[in-house]
């Protein structure tokens, strides 16, 4: 018998529109990063980098020699210290909370471990309706208290002009780890669950989206000034599968996050065929990987959302002359219009030279797109 593909209506609820209309009622921000999120003019293009706190920095490696990843995440003073390291070393325009997208799965009942050389492994993956029913609906404020406490510490330590970004994994990406039991290249098991047990899939996505909404709302309540949803692996889906199995849940999540009043960045990789659907799902900023020409994205979406991206992380290993050429290409494609944040098209790799990262931040800060515009007008 052919599996029923239409989810029960009580699982896919909500409004047709995911994007607010009319003037933005929020006060106008002063930081260049938050202004860019709102597509307001800035004095310089803001820059921050995904995984800017991590293994490429010697300060972080020194801490990891003494503590595991989960131990750092559980200790607010350590997590705050790691978050601040790139702000102090690089001069970026925003800090991003040091945590992991899989943290909520632990109190939900996942047997999660980070295994050297393999990454995150879940020893009790979700493969059936019974497995979904065994997952716990958690209260992040109570069961993940280290995260809001880290945010409160950081807001005291960060300069006023450097906002703090909170984050969570997107529903599909978190579900992928939970169903596959770890990283995957082909997504065979998670797609099999989608196709063979659509009711089970939608129940899992409903649970995850609700927990992610609570988790991110708590981060904003604690002081996060922007939020990023890392749906990193959603590019594994066709547009048709994304629209049927993921977009309704992401749209529900985005509608809920509007109530926080902070800008939301929506990011995935390999999403060139999904960008229109992701914009429909919601968010103030669309994060682009390096496969998408930034100027084309500006023409398609620039009047609807701000854009973030999209230097190839491998360019950070290039000779300085080539690195500068790549950075300038991205900046030229972005153009002079408001609503752009420089970033990578994915996270910084562990072996990346710190001097090259610092050089990129300096290149972006010294670039003035209005100079090009004025030169073209002469």
> Would you please indicate which residues are annotated as catalytic (active-site) residues?
51, 55, 64, 100, 177
128 torsion bin: left (phi>0), alpha (psi -120 to 50), beta (else): beta
Pairing type for strands 119-122 and 112-115 reads antiparallel
8 Å CB contact between 211 and 104: yes
Phi, psi for residue 307 in degrees, rounded to 5: -120, 150
9 exposure class (CB count in 10 Å sphere: 0-12, 13-18, 19+): exposed
Rounded to a whole number of angstroms, the CA Rg of the chain reads 20
Structure tokens at 159: 């300069």
The C-alpha angle 34, 51, 122, rounded to 5 degrees, equals: 120
Contact 364, 331 (CB under 8 A): yes
Whether 238 contacts 205, CB under 8 Å: no
Query: How far apart (Å, rounded) are the C-alpha atoms in residues 314 and 333?
Result: 19
Q: What distance lies between CA 321 and its chain's CA centroid?
A: 30
- The packing angle between helices 320-334 and 354-366, to 10°, is 40
Distance CA 74, CA 225 (A): 21
Contact 190, 176 (CB under 8 A): yes
Distance CA 148, CA 3 (A): 42
- The SS3 of residue 64 is helix
Question: DSSP string of 275-330?
Answer: HHHHHHH--SEEE--TTS-HHHHHHHHTTTSEEEEEE-GGGGGS-HHHHHHHHHHH
Residue 121 β-bridge partners: 113
Nearest-angstrom CA–CA distance, 49 and 345: 9
């Amino acid at each position: 018998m052919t599996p029923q593909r239409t989810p029960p209506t009580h699982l896919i609820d909500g409004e047709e529109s995911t994007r607010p209309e009319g003037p933005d009622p929020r006060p106008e921000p002063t930081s260049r990063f938050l202004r860019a999120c709102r597509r307001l003019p800035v004095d310089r293009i803001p820059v921050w980098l995904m995984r800017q706190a991590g293994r490429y920095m010697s300060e972080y490696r020194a801490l990891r020699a003494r503590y595991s990843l989960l131990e750092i995440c559980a200790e607010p003073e350590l997590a705050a210290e790691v978050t601040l390291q790139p702000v102090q070393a690089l001069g970026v325009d925003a800090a991003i909370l040091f945590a992991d997208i899989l943290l909520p799965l632990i109190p939900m009942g996942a047997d999660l471990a980070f295994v050297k050389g393999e990454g995150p492994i879940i020893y009790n993956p979700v493969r059936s309706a019974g497995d979904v029913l065994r997952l716990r609906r958690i209260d992040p404020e109570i069961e993940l208290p280290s995260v809001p406490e880290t945010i409160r510490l950081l807001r005291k330590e960060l300069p006023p002009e450097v906002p703090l970004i909170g984050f969570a994994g997107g529903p599909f990406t978190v579900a992928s780890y939970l169903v596959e039991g770890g990283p995957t290249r082909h997504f065979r098991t998670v797609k099999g669950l989608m196709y063979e047990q659509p009711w089970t899939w939608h129940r899992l996505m409903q649970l995850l989206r609700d927990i992610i909404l609570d988790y991110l709302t708590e981060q904003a309540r604690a002081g996060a000034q922007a939020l990023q949803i890392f749906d990193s692996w959603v590019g594994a889906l066709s547009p048709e599968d994304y629209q049927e199995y993921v977009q309704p849940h992401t749209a529900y999540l985005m509608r809920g996050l509007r109530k926080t009043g902070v800008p939301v960045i929506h990011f995935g990789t390999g999403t060139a065929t999904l960008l229109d659907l992701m914009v429909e799902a919601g968010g103030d900023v669309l994060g682009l990987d390096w496969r998408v020409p930034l100027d084309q994205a500006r023409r398609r979406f620039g009047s609807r959302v701000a854009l973030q991206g999209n230097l190839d992380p491998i360019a950070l290993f290039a000779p300085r002359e080539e690195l500068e050429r790549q950075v300038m290409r991205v900046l030229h494609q972005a153009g002079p219009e408001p609503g752009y944040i420089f970033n990578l098209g994915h996270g910084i790799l562990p072996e990346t030279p710190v001097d090259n990262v610092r050089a990129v931040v300096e290149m972006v800060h010294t670039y003035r797109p209005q100079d090009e515009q004025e030169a073209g007008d002469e």
